[in-house]
Each structure stands twice: as structure tokens, then as C-alpha cells.
């Protein structure tokens, strides 16, 4: 069996939503101390709905595919729903990741959570 699913390969070779958003409403970053990979998420939010999302990932194929899929999953979602995104859901949407690569999807969950929290703290200040 191939190490990576077709979906992982697709999102790695043609990642969706790569880039940055100027004047983003929320920015979040997550890193993994062991492998040194870093992911940054930028959110544009109108009326508590995520209208745009972009990412920059300096990391492995699974991290890039996870970021790409995660951005697709939360685009158009309400903030409260996006908060519930788990790394498992990201991995499932990619038709699975090898067990030892699951931590790469955790970066996506954490970076999005950090960006949403950044948005909430700005909103409440």
C-alpha cells in the first residue's frame, strides 16, 4: 500500500489557500519542537463567519497537506464550529495519514485554534 493517500498527494502537490492575508482578523502559529516544522494560519472573519483563510507551512508533506485540507474544511464555517475542528477530522478528510505522521495534522488543529483565539481576543478588546 502506498504510504500516502491520493488526497494527501494532491493537497501536497497542489496546496489550496497558500499565502498570507494582509490585515487578517486572526493569526495563529503552531510548531513542533521535535521536527522543527512551523505552520501559520491567517483568517478573514466577517460576522463570526470565516470568509477567507490562508496558510504558510514550513514543514513536511503531511503538514502541508494537513494545512491545505484544514483551510478547505473551515472556509465558510462559523467561528464556533471551526473551533471544534480536530486533527482526526483533518486526517480523515485526507483519507488517513500514517500513524507516525498524525502529529503533522495536530499542527493544523493548533494553528487554527490559535488564530481563532487571536480573533476572539481582538474582538473582545
Q: What residues line the site for ligand FES (CB under 6 A)?
A: 32, 35, 37, 59-60, 62-63, 104, 107
Q: Looking at beta carbons only, is 32 or 120 nearer to ligand FES?
A: 32
84 burial (CB, 10 Å; 0-12 / 13-18 / 19+) is exposed
Residue among 6, 20, 35, 76 flagged as catalytic: 35
Answer yes or no: 60 catalytic.
no
Burial class for 34, CB neighbours closer than 10 Å (0-12, 13-18, 19+): exposed
Q: How far is the CB of 75 from ligand FES (least distance, A)?
A: 22
Least distance from ligand FES to the Cβ atom of residue 114, Å? 15
**Are the C-beta atoms of residues 3 and 27 closer than 8 Å to each other?**
no
Comparing CB distances to ligand FES, the nearer of 110 and 118 is 110
Contact predicate 88/62, CB 8 Å: no
As annotated, the active-site residues are 35, 104
Amino acid at each position: 500500500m502506498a504510504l500516502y493517500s491520493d488526497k494527501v498527494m494532491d493537497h501536497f502537490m497542489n496546496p489550496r489557500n497558500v499565502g498570507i492575508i494582509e490585515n487578517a482578523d486572526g493569526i495563529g502559529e503552531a510548531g513542533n519542537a521535535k521536527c522543527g516544522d512551523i505552520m501559520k494560519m491567517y483568517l478573514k472573519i466577517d460576522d463570526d463567519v470565516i470568509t477567507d483563510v490562508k496558510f504558510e507551512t514550513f514543514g513536511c508533506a503531511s503538514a502541508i497537506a494537513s494545512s491545505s485540507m484544514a483551510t478547505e474544511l473551515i472556509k465558510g464555517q462559523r467561528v464556533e464550529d471551526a473551533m471544534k475542528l480536530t486533527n482526526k477530522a483533518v486526517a480523515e478528510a485526507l483519507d488517513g495519514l500514517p500513524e507516525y505522521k498524525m502529529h503533522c495534522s495536530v499542527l493544523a488543529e493548533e494553528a487554527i485554534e490559535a488564530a481563532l483565539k487571536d480573533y476572539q481576543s481582538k474582538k473582545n478588546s
